[in-house]
Amino acid sequence: MIEKENDGILFVCLGNICRSPTVEAVVRAEFARAGLDVAVASCGTGDWHVGQGADPRAARAGAEAGYDLSLHCARQLRPDDFARHRMVLAMDRSNLADLRAMCPPELRSRVGLFLEVAGVAPPSEVPDPYQGGAEDFARVITLARRGAQGLVELLRE
């Protein structure tokens, strides 16, 4: 089990209003159900939405599935995030490439692709629902649940 403050998990997407806050909310709830005391957080590689709440469509999909995104406040990745978290997990390969480019070389082993680290494949990426409809946001919930269960199993090993 992860116990130290700097051993939490950070989920990262592009703007931190759709995928990563949804995954954060789902993983937090599923970890609590599993009895895991692991800190989780999310952020984006870009700064477009800093200070905003979750996309209303993501919040609605989360609420319909029993997850609360109402307190989310988007933030951008900070250089110290790599040292502060045991795992920094990207939603897609583009985010992963950005993270690897920003990460200090000695901490790159902490960076990975969320669904791959969680042992969920295919798919290996959480698709961005921003340009889509309700079904795309529901798909993020489904993938987040699968990923959360994979992380629960990984952390229990």
Point out the catalytic residue in the list 18, 103, 128, 145. 128
Return the closest-CA partner of residue 88 out of 150, 15, 39, 37. Answer: 39
Point out the catalytic residue in the list 18, 19, 57, 110. 19
Point out the catalytic residue in the list 13, 18, 43, 103. 13
Q: Is 19 a catalytic residue?
A: yes
Q: Is 75 a catalytic residue?
A: no
- Whether the link from the prior residue into 104 is cis, omega within 30° of 0, is no
What is the chain's length? 157
* Residues labelled catalytic: 13, 19, 128
